[in-house]
Amino acid sequence: MDNICNDARVTPPWEGQGGGPLLRELHRMTSRRIYLVAAVVLPLFLIAFMATIFGTGQMEHIPIGVVDADNTASSRSVVRNIAAVPTFEVRHHYADDATARAAVQRKDIYGYLSIPPRFEADMLRGEGATLSYYYHYALLAVGGEVMSAFEQALIPVRMAPIVVEAVTLGSTEESIETFLLPMTSDDHALYNPSLNYSTYLTLPIFYIMFQILVLLVTLYAIGSERKEGCSHSWLASAHGNILVALTGKLLPYTLLFICEALLANVVFFYWVGIPFAGDMCLFSLLTVIFVLATQSVAVLLYTLLPALSFVISIVSMVGSLGATLSGLTFPLPAMHPIVQYAALLFPVRHFTVAMQQIVYSDAGFAACSSSLAVLCLFPLVALLLLPRLRRILHVCPHDTLE
Amino acid sequence: MIRWNRLPLSIRVAWRELQAIATSYSVLLVLVGGVFVYGLLYNYMYAPNVVREVPVAVVDHSHTALSRQYVRWLDATPDVAVAYELPDMVAAKSLMTQGEVFGILYLPRDFATLFYEGRPSVYPFYASTDAFLYYEAMERANLLVMEAMDGDYRTTLLPFLSLQGLAAVATQSPVTVVGTALYNPIEGYGVYLIPSVLMIIIFQTLMMLIAMMSGRERQQRLLAPYACLRSNHTRLALSLVWGKSLTYGMLYGVFSLFLMGALPLIFDIPHAASGLSLTVLLVPYIFSTSFLGLALSRWYTDPEAPILFIAFFSIGLIFLSGVSFPLELMPWYWCAVHYIIPAAPATLAFVKLSAMEASLRDIAPELIALCMQTVAYFLLAVAVYRRKLKCRYSSPHEKG
């Protein structure tokens, strides 16, 4: 494997020229493919992945089934109503509930409507006809959509017998409907009226996956120095100043990550079409601070546990926890208090809060200032521990723990 | 006494691999941390399962008994808690921006007036979509209260109804609509997510384990002693791949007992799968993952670098598995990727088995995909190891 500091064939350009750790790092970066792949190719892949994985983002044409045991004009009319709902695509008409249930089991369909025999007769006689629908809730995200679409589509059917009878007898449709539903709630889904999955998840999930990459690449860049026994050469390139050494080392990655994050913002807001209500400058500032905070956490963790093979596997697992602790899918206040406190230690949690405030509600600096302030604390804490990092690099330059 | 040299090579490889795993702290950390701590932690985090008492703000400009009744009933629902009663929408909106409340109920000045005049009384309910679970909870609660209020107060409107209308109400009854959630009786989020997470944990930690072992193998030239055996390279590669996978298979067999046997009992997550069907699913899953890891080891130069990639992909796998966003709605190329990575179809199949009480026949498409992957990745892994032995150890200079 390439070992920059021990490789006699390479004349390091930083030596004797005062090129400093930045030039040294650029040379390291270009000497191994892993840096290029992890810091450039993967983020670009991630942007493409998140931009395309949800298709249109709309839960439309979800396959469902229908069991029509009545086969009358009324039941067919209900089925036609259901088939006209954009969320649904009636894939199949089943003979009985058992076959429909088996199809749900195979995941051929995500739910079905069951119309019992004598549905029309019961309805006409005013004996309380019943309609049942079943939805797949082991797959909760789709199931939730199927349920609310069924509820919405069947609202007119619920009161249909009374309305039809009243209109037949000579009453106006409006007066009977007002009697039946005197108070009507007008529901508004704010920020995402069509409940689009792409609008909901694309941006936050991108940043959750991106922070894993930022954490790991930063850790690897620092940790590989001791692993390869190059700590002294690294410190020497900065004349023993740990702050200069670390800044020079991380600056290329920081700039790369910031550029990629800003590119992602542009792609998501302007190309994918995620609605953006806020101030782009403020959001870009948040993005920059988030990258710095995440890198600081990596530095911090390496300082506390300076063994690459250990810390990288810990961080790879802790990084994935960011998905849960950001509170994006399952809201944090619903979790145990201890989990809520633990989430405060993750920059991605503060980022998600501020991001939703800016992107959704056009929050200004004042509203998200607390999240921004906490994000700024991470680099400060990392700075405080730099002397320890210097001591580690100086006193034990080799990381042999495995 | 066992005559060590008489044992088949693959058994010796398996034993060496087990020794190497047992003596490496970092690998043990991945296994203990990844399988046991991670498994317990995820279950603990999602143990609350349901979202309750979502804070909403109420702006009541009606100030009537009717509006107060509505607010009381909304507060009484399990899903929603009325956290603030505010004088105007500006204050409510500002609380929403700060994340203090997630919904706003606005009852206008003429809310009760219109109602008692027999005219439709429409009022807006604003719900934020920060988290879809919150939105669904608020929508559900509000709909419930609306229906209850309408049902309870309808009789007071009888004087406004014409005789024909009265006759219709007296002779007809509404259609009852009953919705039933299948396979998730407590309607919990953890019940939905945890089975997928368990399968992804198996994939992620096994890939990390193989990456660390192969990275070190390359760094420390640990294949050299095998190459010295001077046997046929293809047979040697076969023994290596099979022997290593045997160790991984045994280890993950034990881990699966914990993940799929003990955890569901402790945390009450779905465990409808029978031992037989689980075994039929897990054997090809663990082996295809193992072979895939060994095939990818062609690019593993040190023990740490591959972890960057493995950790990065883990969240994406949840989406690719199709348990979150339906496969049917994804672009075709991501559907194709679903069938290439073992974790994706296996996760889906496991959800079917454990939560949906599916039979083996119901998971046939996923099983076929996994078996095909097992064969394909096995051949690939053997080819990769053959190449490693040939390129690196047949000449004295390592080509790297």
Q: Establish if B180 belongs to a structural domain.
A: no
* Structural domain for A361, as ranges: 20-55+196-395
Chain B within 8 Å of A128 (Cβ-Cβ)? yes
Best residue of A4, A49, A139, A146 to probe chain B, by most B CBs closer than 10 Å = A139
Per-residue pLDDT of B182-218, as tens digits, reads 988 888 899 899 999 999 999 999 999 999 999 998 8
State in Å, rounded, how far the first CA of chain B is from the last one. 41
Chain A within 8 Å of B25 (Cβ-Cβ)? yes
**Its pTM surpasses 0.90:** yes
Structural tokens at position A321:
């926890």
**The predicted structure's pLDDT at residue A16:** 45
Interface of B with A in 337-366 (CB under 8 A): 348, 351-352, 355-359, 362
Q: Establish if A209 belongs to a structural domain.
A: yes
Q: Count how many Cα atoms sit within 13 Å of the Cα of residue B218 in the half-sphere of its side chain.
A: 25
Structural tokens at position B148:
């209850």
Q: Count how many Cα atoms sit within 13 Å of the Cα of residue A41 in the half-sphere of its side chain.
A: 8
CA-nearest of A134, A138, A133 to B183 is: A138
**Coil, strand, or helix at residue A384?**
helix
Residues of A in contact with B122 (CB under 8 A): 184-186
**The predicted structure's pLDDT at residue A20:** 85
| Residue type present at position A256 | L
**The predicted structure's pLDDT at residue A305:** 92
Average pLDDT of the residues of chain A: 90
Q: Establish if B176 belongs to a structural domain.
A: no
Total domains present in chain A: 2
Contact at 8 Å (CB) between B35 and A317?
Answer: no
Per-residue pLDDT of A168-221, as tens digits, reads 998 888 888 888 889 999 999 998 888 899 999 999 999 999 999 999 999 999
Q: Establish if A401 belongs to a structural domain.
A: no
Using CA atoms in the order B208, B209, B215, B221, what is the torsion angle rounded to 10 degrees? Answer: -170
Average pLDDT estimate for A163-171 = 90
The number of beta carbons lying within 10 Å of the beta carbon of residue B232 is 10
**Both A50 and A67 in a single domain?**
no
Q: Establish if A75 belongs to a structural domain.
A: yes
Best residue of A316, A324, A332, A399 to probe chain B, by most B CBs closer than 10 Å = A316
| Residue type present at position B319 | F
How many helices (H) and strands (E) chain A has is answered by: 17, 5
**Coil, strand, or helix at residue A133?**
strand
**Both A37 and A153 in a single domain?**
no
**Which residue carries 């992107």 as its tokens?**
A359
Between CA B178 and CA A71 the distance in angstroms is 20
pLDDT for residue A127 is more than 60: yes
**The predicted structure's pLDDT at residue A56:** 87
Chain A residue with CA closest to B303: the answer is: A309
**The predicted structure's pLDDT at residue A205:** 95
Q: Say if the Cβ atoms of B164 and A107 lie within 8 Å.
A: no
Domain end (from A117, A150, A180)? A180
**Coil, strand, or helix at residue B200?**
helix
Between CA B16 and CA A134 the distance in angstroms is 53
**Both B62 and B195 in a single domain?**
no
**Which residue carries 């010295």 as its tokens?**
B228
Contact at 8 Å (CB) between A119 and A136?
Answer: no
Q: Establish if A334 belongs to a structural domain.
A: yes
Low-confidence winner among A56-60, A305-309, B391-395 (lowest mean pLDDT): B391-395
Between CA B87 and CA B294 the distance in angstroms is 65
* Structural domain for B131, as ranges: 54-171
| Residue type present at position A237 | S
For A135, the enclosing helix (H) or strand (E) is strand A130-136
The number of beta carbons lying within 10 Å of the beta carbon of residue A400 is 10
SS3 content of chain A, % helix, strand, coil (to 5): 65, 10, 25
Q: Establish if A317 belongs to a structural domain.
A: yes
Interface of A with B in 70-99 (CB under 8 A): none
Q: Establish if A8 belongs to a structural domain.
A: no
**Both A356 and A231 in a single domain?**
yes
**Both A202 and A343 in a single domain?**
yes
In B61-212, beta strands by DSSP E: 80-86, 103-107, 121-128, 176-182
What b/e readout covers B165-197, taking b as 16+ CB neighbours within 10 angstroms?
bbbbbeebbbbebebebbbbeebbbbbbbbbbb
**Both A217 and A267 in a single domain?**
yes
Q: Say if the Cβ atoms of B168 and A320 lie within 8 Å.
A: no
Total domains present in chain B: 2
**Which residue carries 């710095």 as its tokens?**
A292
CA-nearest of A141, A107, A157 to B178 is: A157
ipTM value: 0.92
Interface of B with A in 104-123 (CB under 8 A): 111, 115, 118-123
DSSP string, B311-338: HHHHHHHHHHHTSSS-GGGS-HHHHHHH
Contact at 8 Å (CB) between A352 and A328?
Answer: yes
The number of beta carbons lying within 10 Å of the beta carbon of residue B81 is 16
Contact at 8 Å (CB) between B347 and B201?
Answer: no
Contact at 8 Å (CB) between A216 and B308?
Answer: yes
Structural tokens at position A23:
């030039």
pLDDT for residue A400 is more than 80: no
Between CA A203 and CA A274 the distance in angstroms is 8
Q: Say if the Cβ atoms of A158 and B47 lie within 8 Å.
A: no
**The predicted structure's pLDDT at residue A9:** 42
**Both B40 and B107 in a single domain?**
no
The number of beta carbons lying within 10 Å of the beta carbon of residue A53 is 23
CA-nearest of B279, B268, B286 to B355 is: B268
CATH number for the domain harbouring residue B61: 3.40.190
Residues of B in contact with A163 (CB under 8 A): 168
> Which residues have C-beta within 8 Å of that of residue B228, sequence separation ≥ 6?
B393
For A224, the enclosing helix (H) or strand (E) is helix A197-227
**Coil, strand, or helix at residue B358?**
coil
Q: How far is A71 from chain B (nearest CA, A)?
A: 17
pLDDT for residue A6 is more than 70: no
Q: Establish if A348 belongs to a structural domain.
A: yes
Go through chain B and tell me how many residues it has: 400
Structural tokens at position B79:
């899903």
Per-residue pLDDT of B267-324, as tens digits, reads 888 888 889 999 999 999 999 999 999 999 998 988 888 998 998 888 899 999 998 8
Between CA B330 and CA A318 the distance in angstroms is 29
Q: Establish if A167 belongs to a structural domain.
A: yes
Average pLDDT estimate for A85-92 = 93
Domain end (from A180, A205, A230)? A180
Q: Say if the Cβ atoms of B326 and A110 lie within 8 Å.
A: yes
Long-range contacts of B13-17 (CB under 8 A, 24+ apart): B13/B226, B13/B239, B13/B240, B13/B242, B13/B243, B13/B244, B14/B243, B14/B244, B14/B246, B14/B247, B14/B250, B15/B247, B17/B213, B17/B243, B17/B244, B17/B247, B17/B248
**Both B37 and B96 in a single domain?**
no
pLDDT along chain B (400 residues), means of 10: 74 92 92 92 92 95 95 96 95 91 96 92 94 91 93 88 87 90 88 92 95 90 78 87 96 94 87 90 97 94 89 90 91 94 95 89 94 97 91 52
pLDDT for residue A18 is more than 80: no
Q: Establish if B68 belongs to a structural domain.
A: yes
CA-nearest of A264, A354, A211, A198 to A48 is: A264
CATH number for the domain harbouring residue A91: 3.40.1710.10
CA-nearest of B281, B255, B236, B163 to B388 is: B236
Structural tokens at position B10:
């693959």
**Which residue carries 């700590």 as its tokens?**
A231
Contact at 8 Å (CB) between A338 and A258?
Answer: no
